[in-house]
A = this chain, B = another copy of it.
C-alpha cells in the first residue's frame, strides 16, 4: 500500500491578518480554501488592496475553491484570481458569501463563473477530498468550518470562529466531529492574545436594549455592514421600542438589501428618505472612519442630509482595527465637537469579537484533540502563542508554525515543512488595475518623507557645452524661495560634475549622488534627485 501524503501551501493569512488563501494538494489534485484580500499598511501610498501571490498555482489541477464565509479577507481576491486562472473552477460558498461574491463578479469578465450554495451539513466531493460544511458562529452570518476527509486522515479547519454560550448546537457539533478523530487541525489564531472568552452576541443585544430604552433622542449605531445578525436584532429592538430606523451608507444598504432578498431581514419599519424625526435609530457605516462612509461624513459635517446635534448618541458597535485608531479617535473628537455623546468598546460593551479568545481556543483543542496542528489566521506572534496554547491543552500534539509560501507535507505519521516558495504581497492599485511594483511604492515612500529635486541641464550636442542650467526644481522638499542661497550652491555642486568626459548616464548618476550628499552635508534630509541632461 502506497503511503499517502498531502501538501499544504498557505499563500496568505499566515503571517498577516488578511488575504487568506490555502491550498491543499493530494495526488495531484488541489483544493483551495478561501481567496481573500487585505487592506494594506501602505494605504497612504495610494495602494488600494493587497492580494495573495498565487502565480505558482495557476497551472495546477484545481478541483474547487471552498469559501468559509463572506468577509473580504476570505473572498476579496476571487475576482483577480478567477481572471488570472483563466479556466472555470467550481466554487462552493455559503449563502451570504455567495451573494457577496456574485456582487463582486458583476461586470467582471467571467460571466460563466458558477458559485454553488452550501449549507450546514452539506458534503461535496472535490477529487480525493470530501468536504463537509459545518456552521459556526462568527461576526458574519453563514460562516462555515470545514471537516475534510482525505487519504491521509481527517482535517478540521475552523474557518473564523468563536463559541457562543447561547448557541450550544455549534459546540455540540464540533464535539461530535472531534470524536471521529481529527488527524490535522487548522484553527483561527486572531484573538489568542485575549484572556477569557468573547462576549455572547446575546449580551450585546441586552446592552443595546437598555441603551435604546434609556435614550430619548436620536441614536446613531455604526456597525460592520456584514454583521447581519447584529443589524437584525437592532432592527428588532428598534421595533420593540417603537423607533423607526434609517439605514445609511453604501455597503449598509446593499448588504441589507441582499439580506432582505434572502429572507434574513424582515423588519418593515425602515425609512429610506427624509430622516428628520427626532428619535430615529440610524444604522450606518463608518465604524473604521472609512473615508466616504456615513459616520465619517457626519463627523466631518459633509453629510448631504443629516447633521449631528446635542442630544444625539453615537455608538461605535465595532472594534478598532489596528492601524485605524487615530482616524477613529479623530472621528470621535469631531462627533463630540458637535455636541453628541459617544459610546465605544473602551467604555461600553456594545461589540464583541467574532474570533475565539483563549478560553474558547482551549475548549476547541480539548474537543478536537488533533494529532497534528497548524495555527492559521494570525501574525507570527499569534501563531506562536497558539502553538503554545495547543501544547498546554494537548501536550502530545505536534504542531508546525507555517508562513505564507511554506510547503508542509502531512502524512499518516508526520507533519513537516519540506519546501518554501517565494511569495510576496501583491499590491493592487485598483484604479490602475495594476500591480504596483515595489519600486513605485518605494519611490512614493521616499517622496513622502523627503520630497524630490529635479535637475535639468541642457547641453550643446556637438560641443558638450552647457547651454542652460543646471536648473533645480524642488517639490515637497524645502521652499526654494526661502532658501535661495542653498539652492544656488546646490546648482554649483551639480555643475562641477558636468566638466567630466563621461556618458550622460554616468554624469546623471554622479549629479544625483552629489546633490544628495550636498544637502546631507548641510544637516538636511536627502531628497530624491532626478537629474536630466538633454543634448540638443
Q: A-side interface residues toward B, CB under 8 Å?
A: 15, 41, 44-46, 193-195, 322-323, 325-326, 329, 332-337, 341-342, 346-347, 379-381, 383-384, 388, 429, 431-434, 437, 439-440, 443-452, 454, 456, 458, 467-469, 471, 473, 475-479, 482, 523-525, 528, 530, 532, 534, 536
25 residue pairs of the A-B complex, CB under 8 angstroms, read A44-B44, A44-B445, A46-B450, A46-B451, A329-B379, A332-B379, A332-B381, A333-B380, A337-B380, A341-B388, A431-B524, A432-B478, A433-B523, A440-B478, A443-B451, A444-B447, A444-B476, A447-B447, A447-B448, A447-B452, A447-B475, A447-B476, A469-B534, A473-B532, A475-B530
Task: Find out whether the CB atom of A45 lies under 8 angstroms from the CB atom of B434.
Answer: no
A322/B322 contact (C-beta < 8 A), A450-B46, A468-B534 known: no
Which B residues lie within 8 Å of A471 (CB)? Answer: 532, 534
For this chain, the copies found in one complex come to 2
Task: Find out whether the CB atom of A468 lies under 8 angstroms from the CB atom of B536.
Answer: yes
State A388–B343 Cα separation when bound (angstroms). Answer: 13
Task: Find out whether the CB atom of A536 lies under 8 angstroms from the CB atom of B448.
Answer: no
A340: nearest residue on chain B (CB-CB)? B384
Task: Find out whether the CB atom of A479 lies under 8 angstroms from the CB atom of B437.
Answer: yes
Tell me, rounded to whole Å, the shortest Cβ–Cβ distance linking A463 to chain B: 14
Chain A at the B interface: mostly helix, strand, loop or mixed? mixed
Which B residues lie within 8 Å of A325 (CB)? Answer: 322-323, 325
Task: Find out whether the CB atom of B451 lies under 8 angstroms from the CB atom of A454.
Answer: no
Task: Find out whether the CB atom of A384 lies under 8 angstroms from the CB atom of B336.
Answer: yes
Tell me, rounded to whole Å, the shortest Cβ–Cβ distance linking A376 to chain B: 15
A443: nearest residue on chain B (CB-CB)? B476
Which B residues lie within 8 Å of A468 (CB)? Answer: 458, 534, 536
Task: Find out whether the CB atom of B452 lies under 8 angstroms from the CB atom of A452.
Answer: yes
Which B residues lie within 8 Å of A432 (CB)? Answer: 478, 523-525
Task: Find out whether the CB atom of B329 lies under 8 angstroms from the CB atom of A523.
Answer: no
Residue A346 contacts which of B194, B383, B388 (CB distance < 8 angstroms)? Answer: B194
A45/B440 contact (C-beta < 8 A), A333-B379, A471-B532, A473-B532 known: no
Tell me, rounded to whole Å, the shortest Cβ–Cβ distance linking A286 to chain B: 16
Task: Find out whether the CB atom of B440 lies under 8 angstroms from the CB atom of A444.
Answer: no
A448/B193 contact (C-beta < 8 A), A431-B525, A456-B534 known: no
Task: Find out whether the CB atom of A451 lies under 8 angstroms from the CB atom of B445.
Answer: no
Which B residues lie within 8 Å of A429 (CB)? Answer: 525
State A476–B467 Cα separation when bound (angstroms). Answer: 30
A333: nearest residue on chain B (CB-CB)? B380
Residue A440 contacts which of B383, B479, B530 (CB distance < 8 angstroms)? Answer: B479
Task: Find out whether the CB atom of A475 lies under 8 angstroms from the CB atom of B528.
Answer: yes
A448/B444 contact (C-beta < 8 A), A333-B381, A347-B195, A432-B524 known: yes
State A341–B383 Cα separation when bound (angstroms). Answer: 12
Residue A530 contacts which of B346, B384, B473 (CB distance < 8 angstroms)? Answer: B473
Tell me, rounded to whole Å, the shortest Cβ–Cβ distance linking A118 to chain B: 34
CB-CB nearest 9 A-B residue pairs: A448-B448, A443-B476, A447-B447, A333-B380, A444-B476, A46-B449, A336-B381, A336-B384, A332-B381
Task: Find out whether the CB atom of B193 lies under 8 angstroms from the CB atom of A458.
Answer: no
| Residue with the greatest number of chain B CB neighbours at <10 A, chosen from A383, A443, A528, A530 | A443
Tell me, rounded to whole Å, the shortest Cβ–Cβ distance linking A46 to chain B: 4
Which B residues lie within 8 Å of A451 (CB)? Answer: 46, 440, 443-444, 447
State A468–B532 Cα separation when bound (angstroms). Answer: 13
State A473–B383 Cα separation when bound (angstroms). Answer: 45
State A326–B41 Cα separation when bound (angstroms). Answer: 8
State A335–B379 Cα separation when bound (angstroms). Answer: 12
State A96–B37 Cα separation when bound (angstroms). Answer: 50
Residue A434 contacts which of B384, B473, B478, B532 (CB distance < 8 angstroms)? Answer: B478
Taking A46-B449, A342-B381, A429-B525 as known contacts, 9 extra A-B pairs with beta carbons closer than 8 A to each other, sorted by chain A number, are: A41-B326, A44-B445, A46-B451, A323-B326, A325-B325, A431-B523, A432-B523, A443-B476, A447-B452
State A477–B429 Cα separation when bound (angstroms). Answer: 11
Which B residues lie within 8 Å of A458 (CB)? Answer: 458, 468, 534, 536
State A53–B367 Cα separation when bound (angstroms). Answer: 61
Which B residues lie within 8 Å of A15 (CB)? Answer: 333
A448/B450 contact (C-beta < 8 A), A333-B380, A534-B468 known: no
Tell me, rounded to whole Å, the shortest Cβ–Cβ distance linking A515 to chain B: 15
A15: nearest residue on chain B (CB-CB)? B333
Which B residues lie within 8 Å of A381 (CB)? Answer: 329, 332-333, 335-336, 342
Which B residues lie within 8 Å of A530 (CB)? Answer: 454, 473, 475
Tell me, rounded to whole Å, the shortest Cβ–Cβ distance linking A400 to chain B: 15
